[in-house]
Structure 1
Amino acid sequence: MDYKETLLMPKTDFPMRGNLPNKEPIRREKWEETNLYEKSVERTKERPTFILHDGPPYANGDIHIGHALNKILKDFITRYKSMTGFHAPYVPGWDTHGLPIETALTKNKKVKRKELSIAEFRQMCAEYAMTQLDSQRSQFKELGVRADWDNPYITLTKDYEAAQIKVFGEMAKKGYIYKGLKPVYWSPSSESALAEAEIEYYDKRSASIYVAFDVVDGKGVLDAGDKIVIWTTTPWTIPANLGISVHPEINYVLVKVNNDKLVVAEALLESLTTELEWENPEVVKTFKGNDMERVTAKHPLYERESLVMLGEHVTTDAGTGCVHTAPGHGEDDFYVSKEYGIEAFCPVDHKGVFTSEAPGFEGMFYDDANKAITEQLEAAGSLLKLSFITHSYPHDWRTKKPTIFRATAQWFASIKDFRQNILEEIKQVNWYPSWGETRLYNMVRDREDWCISRQRAWGVPIPVFYGEDGTPIITDETIEHVANLFAEHGSNVWFEREAKDLLPEGFTSEHSPNGEFTKESDIMDVWFDSGSSHAGVLLNREDHTRPADVYLEGSDQYRGWFNSSISTAVAVTGKAPYKNVISHGFVLDGNGRKMSKSLGNVIVPSKVLKQLGADILRLWVASVDYQADVRISDDILKQTSEAYRKIRNTFRFMLANLADFNPETDRVPEAKMEEVDRYMLHRLQKLVNDVRESYDKFEYSPIFHRIHNFCSDDLSSFYLDFAKDVLYIEAADNHRRRSIQTGFYEILTTLVQLVTPIIPHTADEVWEYIPGVQAESPQLTDIPEPRVIEGFEGLEEKWNHFMVVRDDVLKALEEARNEKVIGKSLEAKITIVPKDDGTRDVLNSINDVHQLLIVSEVVVTNQSDATRAYRHVDVVVEKHSGEKCERCWVASDTVGEHTTHTTLCSRCAEVVEEHY
């Protein structure tokens, strides 16, 4: 007889290799064909709602690895919530307005912008945005992200734009919207104003100049001809200088250097002496900045005077303590000048070119003018020193080119009017990580009014009309009418019709006695677009509610979407639009460097999917501490793939040993299961508890490690390993065998449910092979809650102690192997001498200890010549004297006792005799 034929060896068609790049697309097609997302939503519709509100990615270009990290994290949350008692619909969104789309058309697509009307160009922008959206949608689907992909929210749709107009109108009604002339970030490369959220900082080399202004009227403190020294890194702003700011409480000194008398801050005298190479400067007098108020000095280039003003913004951190003040090119400059009745003066146009208001420099680009201005200052005898520094400087986040401050008439949202309300709401939100609260709080606390107007074509128009006298007109009636027009026709109607055709029929105003009106040509900041999504989505969809449970975006969104959302929401409703805010870090390469094409270190999601599959990328997301910056590389993905294989092979082993198991008929009641099987179910409950707690705290790295360790340590290195001697050897219906299979069945189904939010393709594949499961997908089930295992009360300490003793025995076996005492562990007979009564009781109370330790015989005794000493036991390892059973490979003294099956041990002979 061939005894191999009598073994119940594992059998399964579940493949060892995942072949994910080829099989995942087929599975996703099946999900779409069977409407799996819709079934999930329908299954949970009577449950409490959990809303993760999607921050809209910009609809331009292929997705990058940061997009993948973001969308996969969101998918973890919504999938988990739908499997743990919630109704969690997920509506993806897209941000579709803004300069990059205009640029893509004019530069990449070679669209001749000036040959088109604004309405025609905007239509092309909309069409382009939708093609980009479709492309990104396909790529997000390839990540395995489950969502209402057929019904996303899009910031260019009629209903969304109408909702945004109502947000603007409500803010205007409360007095939070105003138009004013003040310096704002201006991008000459974009020819538009920018918000703080659109600014990035890069190093820039700039001229550093010290300039002397001759005093005209010293107000009794200084003499005519004394000189006030300023320092600036923007020489091009000198033509716009209208004053010098000093701090009222700082001490200033008049110092004699050669034949000049110069004014600087006393605290900076020593450093300036070195910097300007002064020899033995003599302090003539000391006075407070307050004493210099309204002193006048001659502008070094023009026949006009500059006024000395008092400003709290002045410091002695750098420079001279006397601050060059150009109210048209600096925020502090603007406000301090305003207090002295000096209006903003800005001789630079929208392209960054000097106008005729800057004689001598007209037609020059501001940055190019630095040299010419410096040369004229030197010729005038006012330049004390020229050098160059490299410093952090604001750049346009789209064009990556430097910005300037430029005073223009813009529309603003007056943050200061409701700043305190925002700060109070920030405190009511849960922040992950916790430092997010401080970060946003400080940003809002220090934020100036929000410039919401842009001088572009592609965006939502600012719904303001102007009377014949230039007065802006914003009323409930006009806002409601424009919102209705946008809801019906879209915002392009603003550019297709004249102002009178956009106003309510019969509309009149005291500001237009002749009934003539004009309309605003600026559009809204795109952050106002996305920041209005709490109204455009959370209120506009039946399956959504405000506030959302979670906003989750990159850490750059503290100055972006998190910020604009809470600003508009608090302005309109008084409440934050979110209960929880989660931020993730940036994705770096394996060495912690920022990814760039020039370095050749860019990891592209599509490439990972083609080589490894989406579940590997998703498992990588689960493995990292995403709330900080994370790293990815081919080596890191290789390690992730190895962890995936361990989990997959664990599933495969359990599946293979459930081939003849019917959960309806073969399941052993929990109380009658073997103690070790109940112990493993108990261990499973601890895993379920820990994993669910981590999911609830939006922590995924602990989940990855716990599940991987459970598969490696609890299962592969222990439970699955010793179970072979029962599963393969005993008869099919043997109680011990069915008890283990019952344990396998629950462990397998539970593990699959636990990993479904993370690796759904694999989870679905495994599910198809599990016998007797009812649901068509684990995605349509609930993750079990941890429970008390029947009949295991009071036994945890015993089994935990046994596992400690087992570790000691495994060390003894390894040492004996190294010493060539034994080869495989089944060759061993071990004698264990417990060192305490507790250990002895544990060992004596467990059946078939030799099987759990995977040796052929275990003797527990009080005395021996044990040479291997450990914490709880002494151990003797020797080669078993019995013969090796041909069927089970256990060394046994009973081999040969059976008259027919002479090469088998008594156990195997009995099984074969009875069943074969």
Structure 2
Amino acid sequence: MSDYKKTLNLPATTFPMKGSLTQNEPKILDGWYQTDAYGAMIGANEGCTPYVLHDGPPYANGHIHIGHAMNKILKDVIVKHRNLTGRQAQYVPGWDCHGLPIELKVEQELGGKNKFSILEIRKKCREYALKYLDIQREEFKRLGVLGTWDKPYLTMTPDYETATARELANFYKLGSVQRNKKPIYWCGSCETALAEAEVEYDDHSSPSIYVRFPLQAEELARVFPQAPADDSFIVIWTTTPWTIPDNLAVAVHPDFEYDLVQVGGTFYILAKELVAGCAERFGWGEWSVRATVQGSALEGLVARHPFYDRPSPVVTADYVTLDAGTGCVHTAPGHGREDYETGLRHGLEILSPLDDEARFLPSVEFFGGKNVFEANPLVIAKLTEVGHLLGSEKIRHSYPHCWRCKKPVIFRATTQWFIAMEHDNLRGKTLGAIDNDVRWIPSWGKERIHSMIKFRPDWCISRQRMWGVPIIALLCKDCGDAYFDGDWAHGIVDRFATHPTGADYWFEAPLTEVVPKGLTCPKCGGTHWEKEDDILDVWFDSGTSFAAVVEGRPECSFPADLYLEGTDQHRGWFHSSLLASMGTRGVPPYKTVLTHGFVLDGQGRKMSKSIGNVVAPQEIIEKHGAEVLRLWVASENYQEDLRISDEILRRLVDAYRKIRNTCRFILGNLSDFNPATDLIATADMLALDRYALNMVRAKHQTIQAAYENFEFHKVYHTLHNLCTTDLSSYYLDIIKDRVYVNGATSLERRSAQTALYHMLLMIVGDMAPILSFTSEEIFQHLPEAMRPAGSTVFAMRVPEIEGALLTEEETAIWNLVFAVRGDVTRAIEPLRQSKELGHSLDAKVIIHATGEAFAALSGVASDLRDVFIVSQAQVTDQPAPAEAIQGEVEGVAVVIARALGEKCARCWIHDENLGTDPEHPTACPRCTKVLKEYHA
């Protein structure tokens, strides 16, 4: 028996059964960087069609989190796949280095910003960003992500800052930039303006108040002659009592009906539809409607401010709604976009007497020095004191908060720099590009960003901070007007390019060096200038990355093929990039935009430190390896929110083992296979092998189509099912006898090995973008004669098998064979359970078939024993006996009998001719032949 074992062609490979990923991945990483695997991957596609996936820059602050890991793995999967399929896809990682979080951290470390110069703070910010950039770079590399990690793009380098500032100069030349006083989001805690992308909405408790404004007699008599001059009011509702001091008007809708309501001797004006609800809320016992007019008739009435001696005219506005309140809208032009537009139309002052910390200026009567939120109860108390508060309560509603400090923000009118959305039809052109020029995946992304662009205000591009690209402009010290000529700005930008720290030039250069000789203010004729000290919005920074990287790097080309980020970037990077490119190029910076969801815990909850459900990628890598994390990313439909938990990861570890073991089995059975000498021509392969190879090719094509469509969960599920079911449970089990037992160089064995060879290369190519470490390990363990050219798996080209492997008739026959195999397996299983059969090889199968089924099965009768994994199989058209089992295949019945003959000691198959050769009395004729050849 021991001699027989030596004669078997048992699997042999150095590829280990256990992945030991946590120990082996770092070794594979070292190999990639020692041999420049990324360079080999790119070099293998020299001259091929370029594919540009432009990296949205993560912020250089802190360690990477699970969302970062998912994002980078998704990008890596795409880049590797495109290279493996014959496109040159470079990956240039980037980092967003400017902005508030780093500046605040540095200020905290320095003990305040007032102790140091702007250049000292900028230097510290640069050092801080570099520190975390290095940390994140190593963490990203540990994920198995390949790219130009030694030459990333950074928004703080001179070349990048130059590109950003040059885009600002381009907007200057187009006339798109304006400097105005407008209400914008403002964070009093961070003391800066905020972009819409920097505002998050969360629940907030606000006071909800109803206030009556006294009406002046002269205009009132014209509309409501019956109303008393000294006891008539218009009623407003607001959830921001602190803005009442800055009220300058009351807005009504021109098309709504408004009632004059009498309560005792007092008269009130409210929207007709809201009178009943308000009367109940205010506790009006008896009331009556004395008159009704269109809102347009109210225009021209003049109210008085409830506690300041100034008028508050009644104006009309289309944005007034009847959803809540009174239908009469308190209007403070300095604290709301719609209020601001109303103020412009009616010549109202843009009043916003607040400092940078959102405190009322000392000159504001009653509330000077108070933070706006502290002022809310004080305003309510003042309204109560003067008798003009009709009602007050607390409500919880969605309210904007600062993305950084998480505190509520306000609308504050300040002088800022804007890119005008209507100039040169920027809004219209951008909407057209969204609809016609960009592919949005998922498709709802188009509607989302379309709505955002359609209704957004002018783009506020200025920030009152220090760490960023400066706004290149001069301010007249005599009148405050600004000078920002495009050609002049381009000249300044040229100096950024040659300065060691880029935009620091603006802060270092003496005024005389940047002010054009003889420059006079076009507004007042003044000659006294100072440099603007605002910086650009960081979204303008990152949004101009197409200019710095996609156009600026020789390995890239404009526009990018793909931008891939989270769904929040419809209002962030996708948004700012689109506006910046449309404004100066007239075309989008990308062809396709792909978004992914957010990572939730196993119960579908948002991750939170307070809940304790945060899953760190570093912990997953330490426990399971980066390969399992990569598999998790691919296994989920990332276009929706993803869940992660220990249980989910455990299932993936099991799935990984099965995929690995399938590959190991195939590798082990190819140890003596040399494609140069042993490959069997497709036409000469056994039909079963051609059928199996055809099946794998079909799955391979499904996988490749899924990669092209960014459907990586389909890749995972197809690959997993292929390895664990189609191959391991069927084909690989079937061919074991032939591969182990037949002669080493026999046609039957070489045919199976040829199929396995083609299958393995397809599988490795299919799994390499996702299971990168394991694919590399398999590649390095391939027998040298089988290994594709190149030092790394990523330098290979995903193989394709051309031409037909089976005719339609053959395919139909083998589909029938495997359907009957299912019936046979189900028939044998009860006999094994009852111990009537020890193994399927103890069985003989008689297939009773009729008509076409008999004809088809008879043609492959000699293969059925192998396919069914039994000792004997025969096909007959005789009527099935009563004990025959009718399976799921129509026209086919199965009879299971005990196999005839004795069991061969070498192959374990029962054979009636066992022992016919005296030299091998326990071997069947097939094994006897192989043994004679073996010992020859």
* TM-score, normalised relative to structure 1: 0.98
Quick check: 1:404 aligned with 2:426? no
Measure, in 2, the Cα distance between the counterparts of 1:56 and 1:717.
45
The one-letter code matched in structure 2 to 1:774 is P
Could you tell me whether the CA contact under 8 Å between 2:252 and 2:314 is conserved in 1?
A: yes
Partner of 1:668, secondary structure, is coil
Could you tell me whether the CA contact under 8 Å between 1:822 and 1:878 is conserved in 2?
A: no
Quick check: 1:292 aligned with 2:302? no
Pick from 442, 455, 460 the counterpart of residue 464 of structure 2: 455
**Residue in 1 that maps onto 2:186:** 186
Could you tell me whether the CA contact under 8 Å between 1:885 and 1:891 is conserved in 2?
A: yes
Offset of residue 512 of structure 1:
8.5
Partner of 2:114, secondary structure, is helix
**Residue in 1 that maps onto 2:813:** 798
Indicate how the Cα distance of structure 1 residues 659 and 730 shifts in structure 2: closer, same or farther if over 3 A, else same.
same
Indicate how the Cα distance of structure 1 residues 743 and 506 shifts in structure 2: closer, same or farther if over 3 A, else same.
farther
Measure, in 1, the Cα distance between the counterparts of 2:87 and 2:315.
62
**Residue in 1 that maps onto 2:354:** 348
Could you tell me whether the CA contact under 8 Å between 2:211 and 2:388 is conserved in 1?
A: yes
Could you tell me whether the CA contact under 8 Å between 1:681 and 1:789 is conserved in 2?
A: no
Quick check: 1:143 aligned with 2:140? no
Count of matched residue positions in the alignment of Structure 1 and Structure 2: 915
Could you tell me whether the CA contact under 8 Å between 1:821 and 1:878 is conserved in 2?
A: no
Offset of residue 276 of structure 1:
2.5
Measure, in 1, the Cα distance between the counterparts of 2:276 and 2:824.
75
| Residues 644-665 of structure 1: per-residue CA shift (max 9 Å, x gap) | 1111000000111111212221
Indicate how the Cα distance of structure 1 residues 305 and 17 shifts in structure 2: closer, same or farther if over 3 A, else same.
same
**Residue in 1 that maps onto 2:258:** 252
Could you tell me whether the CA contact under 8 Å between 2:40 and 2:792 is conserved in 1?
A: no
| Residues 532-553 of structure 1: per-residue CA shift (max 9 Å, x gap) | 1111111111111111000000
Indicate how the Cα distance of structure 1 residues 472 and 625 shifts in structure 2: closer, same or farther if over 3 A, else same.
same
Question: Is 339-348 or 445-454 further displaced after alignment?
Answer: 339-348
**Residue in 2 that maps onto 1:869:** 886
Measure, in 2, the Cα distance between the counterparts of 1:410 and 1:13.
67
**Residue in 2 that maps onto 1:774:** 788
Offset of residue 508 of structure 1:
6.7
Offset of residue 824 of structure 1:
1.7
Pick from 332, 338, 343 the counterpart of residue 344 of structure 2: 338
Indicate how the Cα distance of structure 1 residues 248 and 579 shifts in structure 2: closer, same or farther if over 3 A, else same.
same
**Residue in 1 that maps onto 2:429:** 421
Measure, in 1, the Cα distance between the counterparts of 2:221 and 2:189.
44
Measure, in 1, the Cα distance between the counterparts of 2:526 and 2:313.
44
Offset of residue 850 of structure 1:
0.8
Quick check: 1:903 aligned with 2:916? no
Offset of residue 666 of structure 1:
1.5
Pick from 214, 220, 240 the counterpart of residue 222 of structure 2: 220
Specify every segment of 5 or more residues in structure 2 that has no aligned partner in the other structure, as ranges: none
Could you tell me whether the CA contact under 8 Å between 1:361 and 1:369 is conserved in 2?
A: yes
Partner of 1:859, secondary structure, is strand
The one-letter code matched in structure 2 to 1:147 is G
Measure, in 2, the Cα distance between the counterparts of 1:536 and 1:111.
34
After TM superposition, the structure 1 = structure 2 runs for residues 538-549 of structure 1, keeping only pairs within 5 Å, are: 538-549=550-561
Indicate how the Cα distance of structure 1 residues 884 and 757 shifts in structure 2: closer, same or farther if over 3 A, else same.
same
The one-letter code matched in structure 2 to 1:185 is Y
Quick check: 1:824 aligned with 2:826? no
Partner of 2:896, secondary structure, is strand
Question: Is 657-666 or 859-868 further displaced after alignment?
Answer: 859-868
Quick check: 1:437 aligned with 2:453? no
Q: Name the % identity.
A: 44
Could you tell me whether the CA contact under 8 Å between 1:801 and 1:839 is conserved in 2?
A: no
Measure, in 1, the Cα distance between the counterparts of 2:539 and 2:696.
47
Measure, in 2, the Cα distance between the counterparts of 1:133 and 1:238.
46
Partner of 2:611, secondary structure, is coil
Measure, in 1, the Cα distance between the counterparts of 2:663 and 2:906.
26
Indicate how the Cα distance of structure 1 residues 219 and 339 shifts in structure 2: closer, same or farther if over 3 A, else same.
farther
Offset of residue 757 of structure 1:
0.9
**Residue in 2 that maps onto 1:97:** 98
Measure, in 1, the Cα distance between the counterparts of 2:245 and 2:480.
30
Measure, in 2, the Cα distance between the counterparts of 1:792 and 1:844.
15
Measure, in 1, the Cα distance between the counterparts of 2:519 and 2:250.
49
Measure, in 1, the Cα distance between the counterparts of 2:632 and 2:525.
67
Measure, in 2, the Cα distance between the counterparts of 1:297 and 1:471.
35
The one-letter code matched in structure 1 to 2:825 is L
Partner of 1:361, secondary structure, is coil
Could you tell me whether the CA contact under 8 Å between 2:62 and 2:132 is conserved in 1?
A: yes
Question: Is 841-850 or 796-805 further displaced after alignment?
Answer: 841-850
Measure, in 2, the Cα distance between the counterparts of 1:574 and 1:324.
40
Pick from 464, 467, 478 the counterpart of residue 488 of structure 2: 478
Offset of residue 793 of structure 1:
6.1
Offset of residue 839 of structure 1:
4.8
Could you tell me whether the CA contact under 8 Å between 1:211 and 1:383 is conserved in 2?
A: yes
Pick from 246, 255, 268 the counterpart of residue 262 of structure 1: 268
Specify every segment of 5 or more residues in structure 1 that has no aligned partner in the other structure, as ranges: none
The one-letter code matched in structure 1 to 2:70 is L
Pick from 652, 659, 674 the counterpart of residue 647 of structure 1: 659
The one-letter code matched in structure 1 to 2:124 is M
Pick from 861, 878, 882 the counterpart of residue 897 of structure 2: 878
**Residue in 1 that maps onto 2:396:** 390
Could you tell me whether the CA contact under 8 Å between 1:9 and 1:657 is conserved in 2?
A: yes
Offset of residue 569 of structure 1:
0.3
After TM superposition, the structure 1 = structure 2 runs for residues 439-838 of structure 1, keeping only pairs within 5 Å, are: 439-467=448-476, 468-489=478-499, 490-503=502-515, 515-771=527-783, 772=785, 773-775=787-789, 776-790=791-805, 792=807, 794-838=809-853
Measure, in 1, the Cα distance between the counterparts of 2:903 and 2:735.
19
Measure, in 2, the Cα distance between the counterparts of 1:770 and 1:68.
30
Could you tell me whether the CA contact under 8 Å between 2:761 and 2:799 is conserved in 1?
A: no
Offset of residue 286 of structure 1:
0.6
After TM superposition, the structure 1 = structure 2 runs for residues 163-178 of structure 1, keeping only pairs within 5 Å, are: 163-178=163-178
Partner of 2:333, secondary structure, is coil
Offset of residue 555 of structure 1:
0.3
**Residue in 2 that maps onto 1:162:** 162
Partner of 1:275, secondary structure, is helix
The one-letter code matched in structure 1 to 2:242 is W
Offset of residue 794 of structure 1:
4.4
Offset of residue 514 of structure 1:
7.0
Measure, in 1, the Cα distance between the counterparts of 2:806 and 2:608.
59
Could you tell me whether the CA contact under 8 Å between 1:327 and 1:337 is conserved in 2?
A: yes
Partner of 2:816, secondary structure, is helix
Measure, in 1, the Cα distance between the counterparts of 2:514 and 2:628.
54
Indicate how the Cα distance of structure 1 residues 786 and 20 shifts in structure 2: closer, same or farther if over 3 A, else same.
same
Measure, in 2, the Cα distance between the counterparts of 1:394 and 1:790.
62
* TM-score, normalised relative to structure 2: 0.96
Indicate how the Cα distance of structure 1 residues 215 and 514 shifts in structure 2: closer, same or farther if over 3 A, else same.
closer
**Residue in 2 that maps onto 1:75:** 76
Could you tell me whether the CA contact under 8 Å between 2:244 and 2:332 is conserved in 1?
A: yes
Could you tell me whether the CA contact under 8 Å between 2:691 and 2:805 is conserved in 1?
A: no
After TM superposition, the structure 1 = structure 2 runs for residues 302-321 of structure 1, keeping only pairs within 5 Å, are: 302-321=308-327
Quick check: 1:281 aligned with 2:281? no
Pick from 313, 322, 327 the counterpart of residue 333 of structure 2: 327
Measure, in 1, the Cα distance between the counterparts of 2:349 and 2:581.
34
Could you tell me whether the CA contact under 8 Å between 2:788 and 2:796 is conserved in 1?
A: no
The one-letter code matched in structure 1 to 2:862 is N
Offset of residue 879 of structure 1:
2.3
Offset of residue 219 of structure 1:
4.9
Offset of residue 617 of structure 1:
0.8
Considering only aligned residues, what root-mean-square deviation do their CA atoms show, in Å? 1.7
Could you tell me whether the CA contact under 8 Å between 1:654 and 1:748 is conserved in 2?
A: yes
| Residues 738-764 of structure 1: per-residue CA shift (max 9 Å, x gap) | 111111111111110111111111101
Question: Is 782-791 or 366-375 further displaced after alignment?
Answer: 782-791
Measure, in 2, the Cα distance between the counterparts of 1:6 and 1:202.
73
Could you tell me whether the CA contact under 8 Å between 2:475 and 2:529 is conserved in 1?
A: yes
The one-letter code matched in structure 1 to 2:884 is T
Indicate how the Cα distance of structure 1 residues 794 and 220 shifts in structure 2: closer, same or farther if over 3 A, else same.
same
Offset of residue 18 of structure 1:
0.5
The one-letter code matched in structure 2 to 1:804 is A
